[in-house]
């Protein structure tokens, strides 16, 4: 792989570190300190999380309509994203936090979709598609960085200093990306003329989108509550913050590893394994509450969710190579919608049954449903394609 290609790819990785690992997911380990310091209720913490998820939904949806000046638009949203991280540490106004978390979410949505689209198109144009999995390692690296840095920064500078420190780090990573991308020109996406072939809601794609939306709903319940659940089990409290680091460490190499499997097996088969492992990870703390079970749960969470993101995104682009922006936006939008609904349903389930096991059991069943839809969809669309081919053959002969 040429030096320039490595630079372009690494710049993309750093943007995902900022937008996903820091801007979106650093909130999880910082929230307990903000709650203690500012007397925030669980409900208020939930509003901040929801504001971010709604923003992410808006950004992911909007990114599908960006065809021109992708690179400049992307870099502008990263600057806004960095400001939203930094200013979290400069205000004590709850309403401003809600607004800042919305801005962080919206810009993260744009950054994820546009970076994925730009990098995957760039690699495809230079016959380097096999390296696309490395891009998504940015999510895991970011989670690991935030998991390791948050307790250290908070111990020295409080929760305010933690946001400021992460803002400075994000600005530094943006500057490195600007340097790495200084000589590359990103081609504008062609607005493909609509035809029967360009309709993305055909064949296997609708099934993939529905499964991916349910995955967003199921995985976010673990993503939102895992650290809190561990913290509230007295004997496991020392492992609470460490579990987030484990999730990040597992997520960092996940994308390239999962992408390696699809060179040997079909994408749907590999996706099925990832979904199955995720269900096991979600249900482990329900079955047994020991240090190894919660840490294994965190590991499987990190390893599978990044794998499912990278595999689904790459497969969608493979199905519609000329519409990478549109398909990545469609997938990310339903995923974001699932993330908005997930915590709300989980909180209701937890309140009704008064047990942390209930939302996890619910999440496990949702991801199982996603797996079933994926497999049924693949079987049905393959069968339909086959009968169409037989029909064409009979007509031509």
pLDDT tens by residue, 363-377 = 999 999 999 999 999
Mean pLDDT of 228-255: 83
Mean pLDDT of 186-199: 54
Residues 137 and 239 both lie in one domain: no
Cα of 171 vs its chain's centroid, Å: 21
pLDDT digits (tens, 9 = 90+) for 297-356: 999 999 999 899 989 988 888 888 777 778 888 898 999 999 888 878 887 888 888 887
Residues 176 and 263 both lie in one domain: no
Tokens 């590359």 appear where? Answer: 184
Confidence of residue 187 (pLDDT cuts 50, 70, 90): low
The secondary structure of 343-393, three-state, reads HHHHHHHHHHHCCCHHHHHHHHHHHHHHHHHHHHHHHHHHHHHHHHHHHHH
Residues 165 and 58 both lie in one domain: yes
Mean pLDDT of 280-292: 90
Closest to 109 measured CA to CA, from 171, 147, 158, 57: 57
Tokens 């929801």 appear where? Answer: 50
pLDDT at 190 over 60: no
- End of a domain among 191, 220, 251? 191
Closest to 332 measured CA to CA, from 8, 16, 13: 16
Count of domains observed in the chain: 2
pLDDT at 200 over 90: no
Residues 263 and 131 both lie in one domain: no
Residues 320 and 225 both lie in one domain: yes
Residues 260 and 385 both lie in one domain: yes
Give CA angle at 279 (276, 281), nearest 5°: 110
CB atoms within 10 A of CB 6: 14
pLDDT at 142 over 60: yes
Q: What CA–CA distance (Å, rounded) separates 18 from 13?
A: 9
Residues 329 and 387 both lie in one domain: yes
- End of a domain among 154, 175, 191? 191
To the nearest 10°, report the CA torsion of 117, 118, 124, 127.
-150
Residues 225 and 293 both lie in one domain: yes
Residues 204 and 350 both lie in one domain: yes
Q: What CA–CA distance (Å, rounded) separates 149 from 229?
A: 21
Instruction: Specify the pLDDT at position 385.
Output: 79
Instruction: Specify the pLDDT at position 189.
Output: 53
Question: In this structure, what CATH number is given to the domain that contains residue 20?
Answer: 1.20.1250.20
Of 309 and 183, more confident: 309
- End of a domain among 176, 191, 206? 191
Tokens 């484990």 appear where? Answer: 246
Three-state DSSP class for residue 207: helix
Structure tokens belonging to residue 319? 């199905």
Please answer whether residues 221 and 367 qualify as being in contact, where contact means their C-beta atoms are separated by less than 8 angstroms: no
Residues 183 and 274 both lie in one domain: no
Instruction: Specify the pLDDT at position 227.
Output: 75
Residues 163 and 236 both lie in one domain: no
pLDDT at 56 over 80: yes
Q: Give phi and psi for 356, each to the nearest 5.
A: -70, -20
Instruction: Specify the pLDDT at position 364.
Output: 94
Residue 305 CB partners (closer than 8 Å, separation 6+): 215, 219, 223, 251, 278
Question: Please, what's the largest Cα pairwise distance for the chain?
Answer: 78
Please answer whether residues 114 and 7 qualify as being in contact, where contact means their C-beta atoms are separated by less than 8 angstroms: no
Residues of the domain holding 225:
192-397
pLDDT at 121 over 90: no
Residues 183 and 225 both lie in one domain: no
Confidence of residue 242 (pLDDT cuts 50, 70, 90): confident
The secondary structure of 284-350, three-state, reads HHHHCCCHHHHHHHHHHHHHHHHHHHHHHHHHHHHHCHHHHHHHHHHHHHHHHHHHHHHHHHHHHHH
What's the N-to-C CA distance of the chain in angstroms?
47
């Amino acid at each position: 792989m040429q030096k320039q290609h490595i630079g372009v790819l690494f710049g993309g990785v750093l943007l995902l570190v900022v937008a996903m690992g820091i801007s979106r997911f650093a909130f999880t380990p910082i929230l307990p300190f903000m709650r203690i310091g500012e007397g925030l209720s669980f409900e208020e913490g939930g509003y901040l999380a929801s504001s971010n998820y709604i923003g992410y939904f808006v950004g992911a949806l909007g990114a599908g309509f960006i065809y021109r000046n992708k690179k400049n638009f992307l870099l502008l949203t990263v600057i806004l994203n960095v400001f939203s991280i930094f200013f979290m540490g400069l205000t004590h106004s709850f309403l401003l936090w809600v607004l800042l978390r919305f801005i962080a979410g919206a810009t993260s949505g744009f950054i994820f979709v546009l970076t994925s689209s730009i990098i995957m198109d760039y690699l495809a144009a230079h016959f380097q598609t096999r390296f696309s999995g490395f891009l998504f390692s940015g999510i895991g690296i970011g989670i690991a960085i935030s998991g390791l840095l948050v307790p250290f920064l908070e111990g020295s500078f409080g929760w305010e200093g933690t946001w400021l420190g992460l803002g400075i780090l994000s600005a530094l990573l943006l500057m490195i990306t600007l340097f790495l991308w200084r000589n590359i020109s990103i081609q504008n996406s062609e607005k493909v003329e609509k035809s029967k072939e360009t309709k993305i809601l055909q064949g296997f794609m609708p099934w993939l989108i529905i499964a991916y939306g349910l995955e967003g709903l199921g995985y976010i319940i673990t993503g939102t509550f895992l650290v809190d659940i561990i913290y509230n089990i007295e004997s496991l409290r020392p492992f609470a913050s460490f579990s987030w680091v484990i999730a990040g460490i597992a997520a960092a190499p996940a994308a390239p590893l999962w992408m390696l499997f699809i060179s040997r097996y079909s994408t749907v088969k590999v996706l099925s394994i990832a979904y199955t492992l995720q269900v096991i990870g979600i249900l482990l703390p329900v079955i047994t509450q020991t240090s190894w079970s919660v840490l294994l749960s965190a590991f499987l969470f990190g390893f599978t969710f990044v794998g499912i993101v990278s595999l689904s995104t790459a497969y969608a682009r493979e199905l519609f190579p000329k519409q990478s922006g549109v398909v990545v936006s469609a997938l990310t939008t339903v995923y974001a919608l699932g993330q908005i609904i997930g915590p709300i349903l989980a909180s209701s389930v937890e309140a009704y049954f008064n047990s942390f096991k209930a939302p996890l059991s619910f999440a496990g069943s949702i991801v199982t449903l996603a797996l079933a839809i994926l497999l049924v969809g693949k079987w049905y669309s393959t069968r339909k394609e086959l009968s169409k081919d037989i029909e064409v053959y009979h007509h031509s002969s």
